[in-house]
Structure 1
Amino acid sequence: MEPFVLKNQSILTIESWCKQFPELIAGFTTKSGGCSIGDYESLNLGFHVNDDGLNVCSNREKVAELLKFPLKSWVGAEQIHDSMLKKVTKADRGKGSNSYDDSFKGTDGFYTDEEGILLTLCFADCVPLFFIAPEKKMIGTAHAGWKGTVGQIAKQMISSWGREGIKPDQIFVAIGPSICDKCYIVDKYVINFVENTLEDGGVLPYNLLNEGQYSLNLRELNRQILHAAGVPDENILVTELCSSCNREEFFSHRRDHGKSGRMLSFIGWKETSDRL
């Protein structure tokens, strides 16, 4: 069953998590329902793609209204395809929410155990990873392109939570809408990094197509990294939604030759006062 379910034209939610934990907001945006135009039509949520900043802010305000999670409580990052994570608190709320300039620099993942903070990251093919450890109220999200994936940002999150006293089998992960293996063709240079990441005996997450060309399944590679880090397979949800195949639903950097908007991953606990 597909874990990411369309709630309206702009929002997909991780349905099983949100049903189990009504105080949780977790999911991914589509490209529909905003006011951006041209290459960014219409719900572009990325500040760094040369879209009109006023349109981006308007789009973000619309998503904030749909989620009933105010923009002033969001955090955002300057994503650099690395594996740096940041634990955030309520004191960080608003950073990167309505401007790229004050976002967290050199950061590709967030986590927190505080309520009232919406962790957000931007995507247009890379793999969004969502994490939750309900017993400890810890949540997180990470941006895993091929560089972040082979840099094992997924494992970094599990290790960071381990230092917080959370065991891998207490962690649940959802792997979100991203480019599929049929659409993601890479060269031997990338595959060399992938091979150095794989555990012995695992199923190869890539296939040779032609000399020097491979199809790469980034979702499967992240799943294997999570499994090797100790997260049980039954704790991992994997989408079938491809950002490149689904032209009407998602932006795709690769499909659109670098001229595209960005979707948003989001996860946060509502504040207690909001649930009374």
Structure 2
Amino acid sequence: MKVSQLPLPRLEARQLGPLHILTDDALARTSGVRVAFTGRAGGVSEAPYAGLNLATHVGDDPAAVMRNRALLLEALGVPELPLVIPNQVHGDELVLVPRADAATLADVRAASARGADGLVVTTPGVAALLCFADCVPVVIASPTGAFAVVHAGWRGVAASVAPKAVRALAARESHAAGGEGPFDAPEEAAAAYNVYLGPHIHVECFETGEDVRALFAERMGEECAPDARHVSLARALAVDLARAGVDPSRIADAGVCTACRPDEFYSYRAEGGVCGRHGALAFRAADPSK
């Protein structure tokens, strides 16, 4: 089976009523995968979580968070789509979502609740949502319609959580690795993926200790740590994703620093540790028009 090539990734702003997202319409047309990086505009949460807070663990009214999640799915045209939202723990644990039936989703949600920082989804009819406020949202999309959504804080980047998700997805899609997908080898699959980096804290605002700086310089190269105090998470991810077989031309960065734009996105650092969380959501609807 020959797999169609994806167009090169490109993130564009779209207004969905009061909600603002970054997405790639060409990806949705060719693979059926809809990517949505949200901002804080819209929603019903009140200060200090004001806007579209999607996280329940930050102190916001749970009813407001549930309404915000529903508003997002409604705006994307998939109000009934089941959500999977892991308990993020700044690690490298991944949870596979192979089917959308009730029993499988119950097992997936139980595994996700125990702690995970990535969802690898190989089925239509399920939305994966992870939450952020400075860490890097990563979405990996395959021409087949499979995808992964990953939470990459500095610990996750250092632990190679995003390349781990690429390799897990590629193994599922490769005959050579015992998977069921159309690719002959994991390397072929990884080279075909688009990767999207959502809004996150950029190098100029991400000040670290010398130990963290040294860790990144050693593992991902000096270009990831341009001086004694700062680290580029995006550059570190690009280096590590290339090692996993991702084509560098297929990595798209939203180019927005959350710490510089707390008016548009939540930022843990800029807001003193009390804030909501924006999201990275992806799904492949059973209806390909979504």
TM-score (norm 1): 0.87
CA distance in 2, matches of 1:103, 1:233: 30
1:241 is aligned to 2:256: yes
Paired residues in the alignment total 264
- SS of the aligned residue for 1:50 comes to coil
CA distance in 2, matches of 1:17, 1:142: 21
Structure 2 equivalent of residue 178 of structure 1? 200
> Which ranges in structure 2 are unaligned for 5 or more consecutive residues?
1-8, 175-185
Trace 1:126-275 onto structure 2 (pairs within 5 A). Answer: 126-134=135-143, 136-164=144-172, 165=174, 166=186, 167-198=189-220, 202=221, 204-208=223-227, 214-272=229-287, 275=289
Q: Do the aligned partners of 1:74 and 1:95 also contact (CA within 8 Å) in 2?
A: no
Q: Runs of 4+ in structure 1 displaced over 4 angstroms?
A: 92-97
Structure 1 equivalent of residue 180 of structure 2? none
> Considering only aligned residues, what root-mean-square deviation do their CA atoms show, in Å?
2.4
- SS of the aligned residue for 2:223 comes to coil
1:59-117 deviations in Å (ceiling 9; x for gaps): 111111101223551100000000111111313448899xxx99532100001121111
Q: Do the aligned partners of 1:121 and 1:143 also contact (CA within 8 Å) in 2?
A: yes
TM-score (norm 2): 0.83
1:50 is aligned to 2:69: no
CA distance in 1, matches of 2:266, 2:30: 29
1:207-254 deviations in Å (ceiling 9; x for gaps): 225xxxx11111111011111111111111112111111122101011
Q: Residue 2 and residue 184 in structure 1: after superposition, are their counterparts in 2 closer, same or farther (change >3 A)? A: farther
Matched residues, percent identical? 25
CA distance in 1, matches of 2:63, 2:266: 19
Q: 1:38: Cα distance to partner?
A: 1.5
CA distance in 2, matches of 1:267, 1:140: 8
CA distance in 1, matches of 2:222, 2:30: 33
Q: Residue 102 and residue 232 in structure 1: after superposition, are their counterparts in 2 closer, same or farther (change >3 A)? A: closer
Structure 2 equivalent of residue 33 of structure 1? 42
Structure 2 equivalent of residue 110 of structure 1? 119
> Which ranges in structure 1 are unaligned for 5 or more consecutive residues?
none
Q: Do the aligned partners of 2:147 and 2:169 also contact (CA within 8 Å) in 1?
A: no
